[in-house]
Chains A and B, each alone.
Chain A
């Protein structure tokens, strides 16, 4: 039977069997609950199937021409538009979004900049090895989960990397050691065996552990007897032995380590430690894997890098790329924008209230496929097809490997895909100017 890639999360499992008659999806075999929910969104109650515009403080259904005309009007009246989202769309749509930003002299940024993009860019500049899922399956003997709980966020990840048997790791689970560093005992702790190491760290004390490991990297004799950050001495000794003795280790960084701190940069310290271990280690190496949530979180940086030579946010002025120190957070905080185009995300419920209230004051255009907190305050809502089910395209997996998503069904009411809609907008804007 034919296998399709799943766009439920950033793991993009490419072994899903979908039983479909071309109109409906009957059964999904192999996908986790998260993937199943994604396939269920096709007929979900909160699906948007027709464009909506705000009239007299109320969202009402409108025709495509009406909605597009209103969108063009809002964009034309603004001088500093803000484009945000682009993590739940294909790379082609991200490219179209960048073209649109260039056309309207806007600022474009993705969810990755407040998430894993920070670590990715730093790791790239420091030359840290990123690894791929296949490599983990075939070679890895040490897996460290740092501030990550994949058993609940990306359900099939542990199945793929820890329990599977690979070319050089034929015994699977038995040969792989798991270390979890987390302040709370999460669901991931339940897959641990006797040889594994569970480290319950005190909240916000990661920096102490990293500094200790940096100092003690070569000798395990001078560890303080009272332990560090709530972890006792014998456990620290075992952690050091694992770190320096692993043939192929991987550190999986989750959302727990990306929050900013006032006095120090945790990510930089962590990457320094990695580099130190890699230079000291005689046997092998330790590499990095970043956990992102949205299915194409990694894609935006790649597309920006290949088309404009900059990874991450882009600021355009006079249809040219200019350097900017602003981020999406500082832009919204300073209210340095006069309209926003949100694509495939829900910032009103994700961002803190101080930012989301500022975002909601200005005109907001939403391009998405289901109702959310953002769709309630939007001025124009443009529906699109669900990527990976109703439209095809390219997406980047968590390990920065491109995967081709496929089309299974036709979208209802001939809704365009994200890419087609953004290109239509560019065309309309150009047509009006002539």
Chain B
């Protein structure tokens, strides 16, 4: 709704959507960009345009550059991240009971302990990128690492 406030609210349909409300929803889901709305580019709406860019800019940046850093010096390969990661638990049955997952690793597997150090395999399957709703806020690996070696960052 906050996005809708800053739109022209003229329902001109120039963006291809039936109403400005529909366009604001598309903005929220990342299906449309602010520049897709031609009236907003006019000098009349300059302030609103900048405000919208500011609001959306931070969120767009977050989605693109998620990084999970594993500090090799701190990690002692306890494998808690392997067991606790919900994606690992869903796709690698051995890790459910605390065992080491199969090798070579599964397609969706996130973490694996190799040579006594934890290694991040496929970041693209992480819940923070794949899921929707509250699951996007998942940070169990960072919370439960006893050595504080895992850091979730947005660079």
Contact = CB atoms under 8 A, between A and B. Distances in A.
Interface of A: 1, 3, 13, 15-17, 27-37, 137, 151-152, 155-156, 158-161, 163-166, 172-173, 187-188, 190-191
Interface string B62-86: 0000000000000111111011100
A155 B94 contact: no
A21 to B, nearest CB: 16
A29 B112 contact: yes
A163 B100 contact: no
26 contacts: A1-B102, A15-B100, A17-B100, A29-B114, A30-B101, A30-B103, A31-B77, A32-B79, A33-B76, A33-B116, A36-B77, A151-B78, A155-B76, A155-B77, A155-B78, A156-B77, A158-B78, A159-B80, A160-B98, A163-B80, A163-B84, A163-B144, A164-B83, A164-B98, A172-B84, A190-B144
B145 interface: yes
Contacts of B117: 33
Given A33-B116, A151-B146, A187-B147, A163 B83 contact: yes
B115 A1 contact: no
B138 interface: no
A32 B115 contact: no
Contacts of A151: 78, 146-147
Decide if the interface of chain A is mainly helix, strand, loop or mixed: helix
Given A164-B83, A165-B89, A158 B113 contact: no
B46 interface: no
Contact of A188 (B82, B89, B94, B146): B146
A169 to B, nearest CB: 10
A102 B115 CA distance: 43
Contacts of A191: 80, 144, 146
Contacts of B75: 33
B80 A36 contact: no
A29 B103 contact: yes
**Interface size range of chain B in the complex:** 20 to 34
Nearest to A38: B116
A32 B116 contact: yes
Contact of B96 (A13, A16, A164): A164
Contacts of A155: 76-79
B10 interface: no
A29 B100 contact: yes
Contacts of A173: 84, 144
Contacts of A1: 102-103
B116 A28 contact: yes
A73 B145 CA distance: 54
Given A1-B102, A15-B99, A31-B100, 9 more contacts: A17-B100, A27-B114, A29-B100, A32-B79, A151-B146, A159-B83, A164-B97, A190-B144, A190-B146
B98 A137 contact: yes
A65 B103 CA distance: 45
B148 interface: yes
Nearest to B112: A29
A159 B116 contact: no
Contacts of B77: 31-33, 35-36, 155-156
Nearest to A8: B116
A156 B79 contact: yes
Interface in B23-49: none
Nearest to B98: A164
A159 B78 contact: yes
A99 to B, nearest CB: 37
Contacts of B103: 1, 17, 29-30
Contacts of A187: 146-147
Contacts of A159: 78-80, 82-83, 98
Nearest to A30: B100
Contacts of B80: 158-159, 163, 191
Contact of A190 (B97, B102, B148): B148
Which 5 interchain pairs have the tightest Cβ spacing? A30-B100, A36-B116, A164-B98, A33-B116, A155-B78
Given A151-B146, A155-B78, A187-B146, A31 B113 contact: yes
Nearest to B116: A36
A389 to B, nearest CB: 15
A3 B101 CA distance: 11
Contact of B116 (A15, A31, A158, A163): A31
A64 to B, nearest CB: 34
Nearest to A133: B98
A180 to B, nearest CB: 12
B78 A165 contact: no
Contacts of A28: 114-116
Nearest to A35: B116
Contacts of A27: 114-115
Contacts of B97: 137, 164-166
Contacts of A161: 98
A190 B99 contact: no
Contacts of A172: 83-84
A3 B96 CA distance: 17
Contacts of A33: 75-77, 116-117
